[in-house]
Chain A
Amino acid sequence: MGSTRAPAVEARQLIKTYPGDVTALNGMDITVEPGTVFGLLGPNGAGKSTTVKILTTLARPDSGTATVAGHDVLRHPDRVRRTIGVVAQNSGADPTATGRENLQLQGRLYGLRGAALAKRVDELLDRFTLADAAKRPVKGYSGGMRRRLDVALGLVHRPEVLFLDEPTTGLDPEARTAMWDEIGRLAGEEGLTILLTTHYLEEADRLAERIAIVDRGRVVVEGTPDSLKGELRGDAVHLELREAVGDAGRTLLRNTLVGLPGVREVLVDGRRVSARADDGAAAVPVLLAAFERAGVGVASATVARPSLDDVYLRYAGRRYAEADANSTERLAVAGGAR
């Protein structure tokens, strides 16, 4: 065991390539302090799940090192397995077995027996409001119930580090909110460290104390949600143009706009223009006037407080929803969703 302040999770320069030259990780570095909730945020295919698979001893990296709770995932996977709880995207509770039976088996695999096991299983069934359904086969559970059972399965042996891979993907809004509350409660408990992956900006913002934004297999920026948003001083101004501008027009437009008073960091992307401004409301008329002089029609203009989407846009150089859509396409072309 390391000292108490040793990171709960530490990954250094993880590289992983899948057959067919698909680079999943390209120098992934993360450090998670004990007792905190850490969010890995990124679009599909950014490398979040691969990172979790390596940290939970399922997959091996091509190179790089990682420790979880002070144990090396490559040299002592058995020790890592005893200290972690894993809630994967498909946790695969046995559908023909009941909720209670699933929990009992999971507990037995960690060496829990007899009265201690029965007590722990009851505790978890109560806590995740599954007590009424405990005797029913899991195949009759709703999506939200299944997900709660998945989390309970990951907690049976009181792990030090809990991995939650996309905990709310596929849940309806109501079940998602309930799951967020549950994760929020877990976070405060007994020094449990949680590493959460998500592709919902809102989820990371709400649950994680620190966020690492992942893009194309590496972390592009890391910090607390507030510090990340704070780095983007001022407001975000989004403009939609009537027509897309070409490469030449884009450079010209950028140069004109960046020179305007109170306007910083302009990004032109097809019909969309994003700018940062010290005072969004004051910048809008200035920007509109500049567009009019340049002869470019503006369809709409909005001013917003910075969101994680803006953070993503700034560090990954593309919009979050686009990256998500692109990577989904890429995966579909590659023939697998990993």
Chain B
Amino acid sequence: MSTAVSQTWYMTQRQLMVFARQPAFAIITLIQPVIWLFLFGNLFKKVVELGGFGTTSYLDYLVPGVVVMSALSSNMWAGMGTLEEIQRGTLNRFLTTPVSRAALMNGNVVNNGLVTALQSAIIVLLGLLGGADYPGGIGGIAILIVASVLLGTIFGALSNALGMLVQQRESIIGINTFLLLPLTFLSSAFMAPSQMPSWMRHIADFNPLNWAMVAGRSAMSEHPDWGDVLSRGGALLALAVTAVWLSIRTFRSYQRSV
């Protein structure tokens, strides 16, 4: 195994251990999606009657939306962890060892990706327990999970970069609270695109959150539109690679501020 891969693995393992040792935290992160699924699912049950949802059960429609939204809301706090490591001195300790900068950042990415995948799978299962139907089968579910991991990577990497640049909790909290709801409501999370006002639909076309939902929903439907899945998935991948690259570059400006 090359050094880069093993270093990335050590960095991932370190973070997974933190996650595994705080099971309470892992459970808390699932409370919100459950609320969305079951409260929202019941509250807006009849909304499918408007048409355009591609299903007769609102829960079927809602599950991919909640999976993607949870991926966003958990990853956008990644910068807080980085900030804590900066303040604790951990990041500086690693930066004076031979470990590569890419491995440091990729450790975060892989860890967040695995946690997001697990979280997404649990939400899909919860949906199943609640009576949701996934005609696209395992393959469709896998594509939804990959899309939500990619989306999480984009926002996780940007959040890490932000944490290193501003080094202030308040800025991360501010930006996250500012972004989360508009990004969610300017997407097809809760409402079928055909029922959205046309200006919203146009904005949603440029919303990465919506790309992940479109790709996931299409893959999970009875007749997936592979063109949609590939185009949105490809765009997410390109954006994720760019965001990770940017976050690795951020080490330079961080080191200028040290």
Among A4-12, A103-111, A255-263, the stretch in contact with B: A103-111
Q: Does A82 contact B (CB under 8 A)?
A: yes
Q: Compute how far the CA of A78 lies from the CA of B87 in the bound complex, rounded to whole angstroms.
A: 24
CB of B168 to closest CB in A, whole Å: 11
Report if A88-B17 is in contact (Cβ < 8 Å); known contacts: A53-B258, A81-B98: no
Contact with B along A92-110 (1 / 0, CB 8 A): 1111110001000110111
- Among B90, B92, B95, B97, the one with the most A-chain Cβ atoms within 10 Å of its Cβ is B97
CB of A58 within 8 A of CB of B258, answer: yes
B residues less than 8 Å from A90 (CB atoms): 87-89, 92
- Among B18, B21, B98, the one with the most A-chain Cβ atoms within 10 Å of its Cβ is B98
Q: Compute how far the CA of A82 lies from the CA of B97 in the bound complex, rounded to whole angstroms.
A: 7
CB of A94 within 8 A of CB of B256, answer: no
Contact with A along B57-93 (1 / 0, CB 8 A): 0000000000000000000000000000101111111
- Among A94, A109, A153, the one with the most B-chain Cβ atoms within 10 Å of its Cβ is A109
Q: Compute how far the CA of A92 lies from the CA of B93 in the bound complex, rounded to whole angstroms.
A: 7
CB of B10 within 8 A of CB of A58, answer: no
CB of B258 within 8 A of CB of A91, answer: no
Q: Does A59 contact B (CB under 8 A)?
A: yes
A residues less than 8 Å from B22 (CB atoms): 96
* Secondary structure of the A contact surface, majority rule: loop
Contact with A along B1-29 (1 / 0, CB 8 A): 00100110010001001100110000000
Q: Please report A residues at the B interface, Cβ cutoff 8 Å.
A: 18-19, 53, 56-60, 78, 81-82, 84, 86, 88-97, 101, 105-106, 108-111, 137, 153
Given contacts A92-B88, A96-B22, A111-B98, list 19 more A-B pairs with CB under 8 A.
Answer: A57-B96, A58-B96, A59-B255, A59-B258, A90-B88, A90-B92, A92-B85, A92-B91, A92-B92, A94-B18, A96-B18, A96-B21, A105-B14, A108-B10, A109-B7, A109-B94, A109-B97, A109-B98, A110-B97
The 10 A-B residue pairs with the shortest CB-CB distance in the complex, in nearest-first order? A90-B89, A92-B89, A92-B90, A92-B88, A86-B96, A109-B97, A59-B258, A56-B96, A109-B99, A81-B98
Q: Please report B residues at the A interface, Cβ cutoff 8 Å.
A: 3, 6-7, 10, 14, 17-18, 21-22, 85, 87-99, 255-258
